[in-house]
Amino acid sequence: MTPQQISCIQKSFHTISAVSRPFARLYYLRLFQLSPELKRHVNSQADYKGRKLVALLGTAVRSLDNIDGLKVVVSSLGRRYAAQGLGDHHFALMCQALLETLEIALGDEFTGDVAAAWTAGGALLLETISESAAKTTLEHCPWGKEIPIALAVVS
């Protein structure tokens, strides 16, 4: 991602954080339209899940200046999703729902540059989540003992 794309995402996120509740509600509505089976993976407490969504998105947006840090945060999410039986198809639908929700929530602010920036950011998230979800095996430690990947240092 370019510095301009990162800046564009960070600026537009201020608008999203100001309308976080309706944003989250709209996101999940769209996600469940795209994939009704994902409802069983979402906590029945919609407000709680919505707050988590916007908080995670905020963490990801703030971490764009440190891509390695972002990958650590998103990798744990990918492994958690994989443990729930979610895969690349679901991750792509999540990104699609996010982009469509951003377009609605940002309105006139969703310019071509903003759309391109969020698309690049979504692609980065999708790639990282997919890679980490695929890493469900044990990693080998230098001292000869295997530990669960969740305990391994992600580089």
Residue 84: which CATH number? 1.10.490.10
Q: Is it the case that residue 16 has pLDDT exceeding 90?
A: yes
- Provide the pLDDT confidence category of residue 45 given band limits of 50, 70 and 90: low
- pTM score, two decimals? 0.77
Q: Check residue 103 and give its pLDDT.
A: 96
The structure tokens listed for 112 are 């071509």
- Provide the pLDDT confidence category of residue 91 given band limits of 50, 70 and 90: confident
The structure tokens listed for 104 are 């609605």
Q: How many helices (DSSP H) and strands (DSSP E) are in the chain?
A: 6, 2
Q: Check residue 47 and give its pLDDT.
A: 67
The structure tokens listed for 66 are 């440190």
Tally of domains in the chain: 1
Q: Check residue 33 and give its pLDDT.
A: 94
Helices marked H in 40-153: 46-62, 67-83, 88-106, 112-134
Contact 30, 97 (CB under 8 A): yes
Quote the domain boundaries for residue 134. 3-151
pLDDT averaged over the chain? 80
Q: Check residue 67 and give its pLDDT.
A: 78
Average pLDDT over residues 105-122: 95
SS3 content of the chain, % helix, strand, coil (to 5): 80, 5, 20
